[in-house]
Amino acid sequence: MSERLKIKLSIANRVYPLTITPDQEEGLRSAAQKIDLTIKQFEKSYSVQDKQDVLAMCALQFATQNEQKSIDNTSLNEDLESRLISVDKLIDSHLNNNVL
């Protein structure tokens, strides 16, 4: 089993102790920074008094971005699959017409 690290992340002025694998550290620290930046942007843009409201807005924004990427990837995969099928048919047609 790989070595585990104990780290502390600060999100919305609260500290969260975590036990993680070393390969998770960079992503977790980056995510925590993005959450804090997003919180500051929401607090600056909206007069929100409750941190829970700001955290809910952050969660909705990040979840929406994740869902949109999933939708975009599905659409891209469908388009790519359609193009590959067309190329495959074209190759088959060409090979069948050139059979001696």
| Spatial distance between the Cα atoms of 9 and 28, rounded to a whole number of angstroms | 8
**Which residues constitute the domain of residue 69?**
5-97
Contacts 24+ apart (CB under 8 A), 79-84: none
Which ranges of 5-50 would DSSP assign to H, the alpha helix? 25-45
Residues in the chain where the model's pLDDT stays below 50:
none
| Spatial distance between the Cα atoms of 29 and 45, rounded to a whole number of angstroms | 24
Q: For residue 41, what are the CA distances in angstroms to 15, 35, 37, 55, 67?
A: 20, 10, 6, 12, 21
Predicted local confidence at residue 97, as pLDDT? 84
Identify the residue whose tokens are 């069948």. 96
Into how many domains does the chain fold?
A: 1
| Spatial distance between the Cα atoms of 67 and 61, rounded to a whole number of angstroms | 10
Predicted local confidence at residue 1, as pLDDT? 54
Predicted local confidence at residue 78, as pLDDT? 87
